[in-house]
């Protein structure tokens, strides 16, 4: 490891404190808020259906819940892999330091997984699980029966209760999703030592970028999975979801712009080094990838779609390009926050650099694996809990 640091020595510009050469939070910590953001965003999309009764996006309901679950299961992995002593991580549950935002991660995570997501998914699928278990042969029959927790009541009254419970959980779920990702923003935003992070807007910006990335990835998955299943894409659903994405991007963009203008206008002590950071080290990832490709181009495309009456096929193509660009943009946002925040010295006199490993726990390959893992989990989840078809078919048709 120290060999790598020697290689970085010549790349330091200006003066940095000698302990600052090492970038302490690397690619893994970029992956962590990216993955968590998708969880929160996908859940918010799901809640559109149940709480706000947006019927058009009904076909995305189950998919977004399962997407949230798949990504949530992966969310702690980058954190654990990054710890110097992963085997001691249980200490955060046993002897949490109440003043530490990070210590709350376990509790926020457990709450979201156990109380919100799993319970909601169970109520959504309960009736189907019972019906599937009756129709199927082992081993799927056993799996579905076990997943239904051996409940067999599909009476009107029971289903009515399911619907009520669902509404209630979703209402709890929305603030929980806000808490989950707002909290991730707070981890960074509350560090007063770091002017790039320290901003009261940070949790809010994280939240809206989370909604953007979550909605975009569910649209992306829908556009890939539906043709693979030999079904047709519901254009009304796609237009509505894209419309929500458009508004979310506008809010996200406005918040980031506000943060930017505020920093420039206040022009505090750190402004010189932060300008240098943006213009040198982060030019590609911030100006080009995050703002131009990840935000302005998708916004432009979505405006064009709204203004002109394109045919379905062209619209699909443009939506597909948009959601991919948005993913690149949001990943760059996470990169610019996490890595960018460590590339300037707290002496405000110099910049260091980040050299990504290829192999190893902090390496590119491992992070790629972590980013692919949720899709594998989602594929398994969809196999066990189909989002469409069978009795889920009604959802698709409605």
Partner 1 sequence: MPRSGIEGQGSAEGRSRDPRGEISLLAVPLPAPAGGRIVNRRRFLKDLMTCVVSGGLFGGTLLKGVARASAIEAGKKPLYGFGVQVDKCIGCVRCVAACKNENNVPKEPFFFRTWVERYIIKQDGGTIVEAIGILPHQEAEVITEKNVLRSFNVPKLCNQCAHPPCVQVCPVGATFSTEDGVVLVNNKTCVGCRYCIQACPYGARYLHPETHTADKCTFCYHRIKKGLLPACVEVCPTQARLFGDLKSHASPLTRFKRMNKIHVLKPGLNTEPKVYYSSLDGEVR
Q: What are the residues binding partner 1 (CB under 8 A)?
A: 1-2, 5-6, 9, 15-22, 24-25, 79, 82-86, 88-89, 91-92, 95-97, 99-103, 105, 187, 190-194, 342, 345-349
The phi and psi torsions of 213 (rounded to 5 degrees) equal -70, -40
Q: How many C-beta neighbours within 10 Å does residue 148 have?
A: 19
Taking the C-alpha atoms of residue 44 and residue 207, their distance in angstroms, rounded to an integer, is 10
Dihedral angle computed from the Cα positions of residues 24, 30, 33 and 38, in that order, rounded to the nearest 10 degrees? -170
Nearer to partner 1, 3 or 155 (CB): 3
Q: What are residue 350's DSSP bridge partners?
A: 14
Smallest gap from Cβ 77 to partner 1, in A, equals 14
State in angstroms the smallest separation of the CB of 343 from partner 1: 13
Q: Which is nearer to partner 1, 19 or 155 (CB)?
A: 19
Distance in Å, CB of 194 to partner 1, minimum: 7
Helix (H) or strand (E) holding 350: strand 350-351
In whole angstroms, the minimum distance from the beta carbon of 37 to partner 1 comes to: 20
Nearer to partner 1, 6 or 150 (CB): 6
Distance between CA atoms of residues 293 and 306, nearest Å: 19
Question: Would you say 24 or 137 has its CB closer to partner 1?
Answer: 24
Q: Which is nearer to partner 1, 15 or 142 (CB)?
A: 15
Torsion angle of C-alpha atoms 3, 5, 11, 12, degrees rounded to 10:
-150
Q: Considering the complex, state which of residue 214 and residue 340 has its C-beta at the smaller distance from partner 1.
A: 340
Work out how close the CB of 287 gets to partner 1 at its nearest, in angstroms, rounded to a whole number: 25
Integer Cα distance of 140 and 135 in angstroms: 10
Least distance in Å: CB of 85 to partner 1? 5
In the complex with partner 1, which residue's Cβ is closer, 5 or 200? Answer: 5
User: What is the closest distance, in whole angstroms, from the C-beta atom of residue 261 to partner 1 in the complex?
Assistant: 23
Tokens of 141: 């029959």
CA distance linking residue 353 with residue 12, whole number of Å:
7
Total residues belonging to the chain: 398
Q: State in angstroms the smallest separation of the CB of 259 from partner 1.
A: 19
Whose Cβ is closer to partner 1: residue 99's or residue 155's? 99
Alpha helices in the chain (DSSP H): 2-8, 27-50, 61-74, 76-82, 91-94, 105-110, 118-135, 140-147, 156-189, 202-228, 235-266, 271-276, 297-307, 312-338, 364-384, 393-397
Nearest CB to partner 1, comparing residues 173 and 341: 341
Q: How far is CA 129 from CA 132, 158, 173, 183, in A?
A: 5, 14, 23, 34
In the complex, the smallest distance separating the C-beta of residue 92 from partner 1, rounded to whole angstroms, is: 5
User: 363: which strand partners?
Assistant: 357
């Amino acid at each position: 490891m120290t060999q790598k640091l020697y290689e970085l020595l010549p790349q330091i510009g200006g003066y940095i404190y000698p302990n600052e050469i090492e970038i302490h939070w690397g690619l893994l910590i970029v992956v962590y808020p990216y993955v968590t953001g998708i969880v929160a965003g996908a859940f918010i999309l799901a809640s559109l259906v149940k709480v706000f009764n947006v019927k058009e996006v009904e076909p995305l309901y189950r998919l977004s819940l399962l997407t949230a679950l798949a990504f949530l299961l992966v969310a702690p992995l980058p954190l654990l892999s990054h710890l110097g002593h992963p085997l001691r991580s249980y200490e955060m549950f046993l002897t949490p330091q109440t003043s530490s935002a990070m210590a709350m991660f376990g509790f926020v995570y457990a709450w979201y997984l156990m109380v919100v997501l799993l319970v909601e998914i169970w109520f959504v699928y309960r009736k189907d699980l019972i019906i599937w278990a009756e129709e199927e042969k082992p081993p799927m029959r056993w799996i579905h029966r076990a997943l239904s927790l051996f409940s067999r009541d599909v009476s009107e009254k029971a289903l009515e209760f399911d619907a009520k419970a669902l509404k209630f959980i979703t209402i709890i779920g929305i603030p929980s999703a806000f808490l989950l990702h707002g909290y991730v923003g707070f981890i960074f935003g509350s560090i007063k030592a770091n002017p790039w992070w320290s901003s009261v807007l940070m949790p809010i910006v994280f939240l809206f970028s989370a909604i953007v990335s979550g909605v975009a990835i569910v649209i992306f998955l829908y556009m890939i999975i539906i043709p693979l299943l030999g079904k047709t894409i519901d254009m009304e659903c796609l237009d509505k979801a894209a419309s929500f994405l458009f508004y979310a991007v506008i809010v996200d963009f406005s918040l980031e712009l506000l943060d930017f203008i505020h920093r420039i206008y206040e022009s505090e002590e750190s402004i010189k080094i932060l300008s240098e950071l943006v213009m040198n080290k982060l030019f590609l990832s911030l100006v080009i990838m995050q703002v131009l490709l990840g935000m302005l181009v998708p916004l432009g495309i979505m405006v064009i779609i709204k203004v002109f009456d394109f045919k379905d096929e062209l619209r699909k193509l443009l939506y597909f390009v948009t959601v991919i660009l948005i993913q690149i943009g949001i990943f760059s946002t996470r990169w610019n926050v996490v890595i960018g925040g460590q590339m300037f010295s707290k002496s405000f006199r110099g910049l260091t650099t980040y050299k990504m490993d290829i192999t190893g726990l902090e390496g590119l390959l491992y992070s790629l694996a972590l980013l692919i893992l949720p899709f594998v989990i989602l594929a398994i989840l969809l196999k066990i809990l189909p989002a469409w078809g069978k009795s889920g078919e009604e959802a698709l048709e409605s």
